């Protein structure tokens, strides 16, 4: 790919170079290809975990793409001085919200999931400005532990998608292994767009192989409409259980820490000094995504890391490119037939793809933790206890069953419990109590 660049914010008096129309379209499509599988994996995992019908999952996929497209356009183009970072960033459904949403759905029903999401989105909009100013309370030790736990907590879901109700082994295992090996080979030896689209390519090849093994069923695709709008409140009038709202508000704070890190990375790439106002507008757009998702039955969005990497790799920093990517996502979200295709993908294939993606999320968290200084301070204790507590509901899912529902929703989720423990311990050890002598870079 060309490394021709268009800065999102050109210095005063310096004209911003423009990409040709076809290059703008091509780079916009590339952004969609890079993030597409990660975006649609969220409704697939959520729907599978709660036993939703295939047609319902297809509706979630369409709503997911539509909201992601709308928020992407907002982030890139901005809405005055109210919303949008005005940076070349692509938004997509966050894995952070999946496990808490599943827990809320199992305890209170699907209407509560989206009621809690709307409330958390409003909370997010209200705290966007102060959060952008208080990011020091969410240092790498907290962000890294949270992101690592996101990946680890979802790996079991990927394995369940691979095997379904079948015993382990046989064709599903062979097919999943082939998909994983394909991704590894393309990411290791591919270059440019080939490597960036490794997940999508492996998904297509895996589906072809599954069809050859009679492991696919796309019969529902033919009856799906070509054009359509997602339904408002698909699962009924939203309800607002307090434990669910608290859990989703914690999720929103984790999403904010992720988005902040990625926005700062893009600002470095574009050469635009990051400002508190642009960060708060970008975070507010994430909050709006949660409100919008609650109405359209979608998922809260965050800045996608793979697209941040794509901007850095290609050097293409044009916000027009990202607006085009958002337009493509909106168009895909208005095609129910596309949602049905995604919902019909064979479990072993989408499970294998999800396994790689969830493991990669955990790897990103580990990389974040590796940047923390562990000498002469309590950081090792903070991350160890936070990760240990977070692993409890993963290795012993029934351990919190005897507790009240409110406590179970908040502490019974691996992600929320990790965030609470990491945040509190970091606040106490690195801000409130006298620090140990020695170098301290946590806060």
| Residues 3-24: tens digit of each pLDDT | 344 444 433 333 345 767 877 8
Has residue 8 been placed in a domain? no
The winner for highest mean pLDDT among 122-126, 305-309, 350-354 is 122-126
pLDDT band per the 50, 70, 90 thresholds, residue 71:
very high
Number of domains in the chain: 1
Q: Which residue has the higher pLDDT, 389 or 134?
A: 389
Please tell me the predicted confidence (pLDDT) of residue 36. 75
**CA-to-CA dists, residue 391 to 149, 162, 164, 385, 414, angstroms:** 8, 22, 23, 10, 6
Q: Which two tokens stand for residue 331?
A: 């168009």
Residue 332 belongs to domain spanning:
21-361
- In 3D space, the residue among 290, 296, 301, 291 whose CA is nearest the CA of residue 235 turns out to be 296
pTM above 0.85, yes or no: no
User: What sign results for the dihedral spanned by CA atoms 198, 200, 203, 208?
Assistant: negative
Number of helical (H) and strand (E) elements in the chain, helices listed first: 17, 2
Residue corresponding to tokens 């050109």: 10
To the nearest 10 degrees (0 to 180), the angle between helices 276-296 and 110-133 is 170
C-beta separation of 274 from 267 below 8 A: yes
Conformation bin of residue 216: beta by default, left when phi > 0, alpha when psi is -120 to 50: beta
Q: Span 304-310, mean pLDDT?
A: 71
Has residue 326 been placed in a domain? yes
Has residue 136 been placed in a domain? yes
Has residue 412 been placed in a domain? no
Q: Which residues pair with 83 in a beta bridge?
A: 79
**Rounded to whole angstroms, how far apart are CA atoms 350 and 162?**
7
**Rounded to whole angstroms, how far apart are CA atoms 148 and 437?**
29
Q: Which residue has the higher pLDDT, 435 or 26?
A: 26
Has residue 377 been placed in a domain? no
Q: Which residue has the higher pLDDT, 418 or 2?
A: 418
Please tell me the predicted confidence (pLDDT) of residue 70. 95
Has residue 379 been placed in a domain? no
Lowest mean pLDDT among 69-73, 221-225, 387-391: 221-225
Has residue 38 been placed in a domain? yes
| Residues 143-193: tens digit of each pLDDT | 788 878 877 887 877 787 787 656 556 778 888 888 889 888 888 887 766
Q: Which residues pair with 92 in a beta bridge?
A: 302
pLDDT above 60 for 442: no
**CA-to-CA dists, residue 364 to 150, 191, 261, 308, 429, angstroms:** 10, 21, 12, 13, 25
C-beta separation of 182 from 201 below 8 A: yes
pLDDT above 70 for 352: yes
Has residue 12 been placed in a domain? no
Q: Parallel, antiparallel, or unpaired for β 301-303 and 91-93? A: antiparallel
């Amino acid at each position: 790919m060309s490394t021709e660049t268009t800065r999102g914010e050109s210095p005063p008096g310096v004209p911003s170079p423009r990409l040709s129309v076809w290059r703008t379209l091509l780079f916009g499509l590339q952004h969609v290809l890079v993030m597409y599988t990660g975006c649609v994996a969220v409704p697939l995992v959520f729907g599978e975990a709660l036993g939703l019908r295939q047609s319902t999952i297809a509706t979630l996929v369409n709503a997911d793409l539509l909201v992601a497209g709308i928020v992407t356009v907002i982030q890139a183009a901005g809405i005055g001085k109210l919303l949008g970072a005005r940076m070349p960033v692509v938004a997509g459904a966050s894995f952070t919200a999946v496990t808490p949403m599943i827990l809320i759905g199992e305890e209170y029903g699907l209407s509560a999931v989206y009621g809690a999401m709307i409330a958390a989105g409003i909370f997010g909009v209200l705290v966007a400005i102060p959060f952008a100013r208080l990011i020091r309370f969410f240092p790498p030790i907290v962000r890294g532990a949270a992101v690592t736990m996101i990946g680890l907590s979802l790996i079991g879901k990927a394995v369940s998608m691979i095997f379904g109700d079948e015993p382990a082994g046989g064709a599903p295992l062979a097919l999943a292994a082939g998909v994983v090996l394909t991704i590894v080979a393309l990411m290791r030896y591919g270059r440019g767009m080939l490597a960036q689209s490794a997940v999508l390519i492996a998904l297509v090849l895996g589906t072809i192989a599954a069809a050859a093994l009679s492991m696919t069923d796309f019969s529902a695709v033919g009856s799906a409409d070509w054009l359509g709008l997602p339904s408002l409140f698909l699962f009924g009038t939203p309800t607002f259980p307090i434990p669910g709202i608290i859990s989703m508000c914690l999720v929103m704070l984790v999403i904010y820490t992720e988005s902040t890190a990625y926005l700062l990375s893009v600002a470095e790439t574009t050469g635009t000094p990051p400002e508190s106002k642009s960060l708060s507008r970008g975070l507010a757009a994430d909050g709006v995504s949660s409100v919008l998702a609650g109405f359209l039955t979608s998922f809260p969005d965050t800045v996608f890391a793979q697209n941040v990497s794509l901007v850095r790799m290609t050097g293409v920093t044009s916000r027009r490119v990202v607006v085009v990517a958002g337009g493509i996502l909106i168009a895909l979200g208005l095609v129910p037939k596309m949602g049905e295709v995604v919902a019909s993908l064979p479990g072993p294939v989408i499970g294998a793809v999800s396994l790689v993606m969830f493991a990669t999320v955990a790897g990103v968290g580990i990389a974040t933790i590796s940047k923390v200084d562990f000498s002469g301070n309590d950081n090792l204790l903070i991350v160890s206890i936070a990760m240990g507590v977070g692993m409890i509901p993963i290795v012993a899912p029934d351990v919190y069953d005897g507790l009240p529902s409110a406590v179970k929703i908040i502490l019974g989720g691996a992600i929320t419990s990790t965030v609470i423990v990491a945040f509190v311990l970091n606040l106490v050890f690195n801000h409130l109590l006298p620090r140990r002598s020695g170098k301290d870079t946590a806060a």
